[in-house]
């Protein structure tokens, strides 16, 4: 898929839930997930490990532990760091990032209309989610913030809240309150795991102060022993899926 907002074209993978072809009148919620090349097929992944998102969702749906949902995997590009960050930052002495608005525009103004036209979706806010890991978790937060009428579920898996001096914590005040948000972090992430986990805890405290309620529209999960990797996210991806889509 090409975009007028982004330099790089990218593949989009669409996973349809069990029964989609048989239930021709049914419409489905949609979850947009970043780093699509890491979600479904180990041959396209970073490091040869996939999230097994299709297997996990299929199993939960068949067990009636999760409502059927369409999953849209959006491939990353060579400009991943630029596209997944809202602000420019200095990393290893170099200015990087800051094209998140353009990426959000692509998702909302180009990709979502195409998906809604091509598949039987429930296109309203309450049935549209966005999710990702690391910088993908960060851009999920900012895309929902930029388009408060579009996304009702936001998944932040091991989010890179550290970016731009933890600016995301200050931006909670302008984040929409009528969404369900998932945040998680492993206890062995980053060069300083204790500090990484504390940053996530501080971010969640900010959400609490903004009025988000645990077991209602906020979930925070700490995964003991988990590092910052596709394998770690694969092991716990069913948790946010169940939080958002438990029937």
Token digits of residue 30: 């949609």
Which strand (E) or helix (H) includes residue 10? none
Do the Cβ atoms of 8 and 108 come closer than 8 Å?
no
Alpha-carbon distance of 135 to 152, in angstroms, equals: 20
The burial class, CB within 10 Å (0-12 / 13-18 / 19+), for 55 is middle
Tell me, yes or no, if the pTM score tops 0.75.
yes
Instruction: Give the count of beta carbons closer than 10 Å to the beta carbon of residue 79.
Output: 16
Alpha-carbon distance of 197 to 192, in angstroms, equals: 9
**What is the chain's pLDDT, residue by residue, as a tens digit (247 residues)?**
999 999 999 999 999 999 999 999 999 999 999 999 999 999 999 888 999 999 999 999 999 999 999 999 999 999 999 999 999 999 889 999 999 999 999 999 999 999 999 999 999 999 999 999 999 999 999 999 999 999 999 999 999 999 999 999 999 999 999 999 999 999 999 999 999 999 999 999 999 999 999 999 999 999 999 999 999 999 999 999 999 999 8
Do the Cβ atoms of 27 and 121 come closer than 8 Å?
yes
């Amino acid at each position: 898929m090409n975009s007028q907002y982004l330099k790089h074209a990218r593949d989009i993978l669409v996973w349809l839930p069990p029964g989609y072809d048989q239930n021709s009148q049914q419409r489905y919620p949609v979850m947009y997930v970043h780093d699509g090349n890491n979600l479904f097929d180990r041959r396209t992944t970073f490091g040869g490990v996939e999230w097994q998102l299709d297997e996990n969702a299929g199993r939960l749906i068949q067990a009636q532990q999760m409502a059927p949902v369409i999953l849209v995997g959006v491939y990353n590009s060579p400009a991943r760091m630029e596209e997944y960050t809202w602000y420019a930052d200095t990393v290893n002495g170099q200015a990087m990032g800051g094209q998140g608005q353009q990426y959000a525009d692509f998702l909302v103004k180009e990709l979502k209309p195409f998906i809604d036209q091509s598949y039987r979706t429930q296109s309203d806010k309450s049935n549209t989610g966005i999710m990702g890991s690391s910088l993908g978790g960060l851009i999920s937060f900012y895309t929902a913030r930029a388009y408060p009428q579009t996304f009702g579920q936001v998944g932040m898996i091991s989010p890179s809240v550290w970016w731009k001096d933890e600016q995301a914590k200050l931006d909670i005040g302008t984040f929409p309150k009528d969404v369900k948000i998932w945040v998680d972090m492993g206890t062995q992430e980053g060069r300083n795991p204790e500090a990484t986990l504390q940053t996530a805890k501080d971010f969640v405290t900010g959400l609490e102060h903004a009025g988000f309620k645990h077991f209602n529209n906020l979930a925070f999960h700490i995964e003991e022993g988990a590092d910052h990797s596709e394998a770690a996210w694969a092991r716990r991806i069913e948790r946010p899926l169940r939080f958002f889509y438990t029937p």
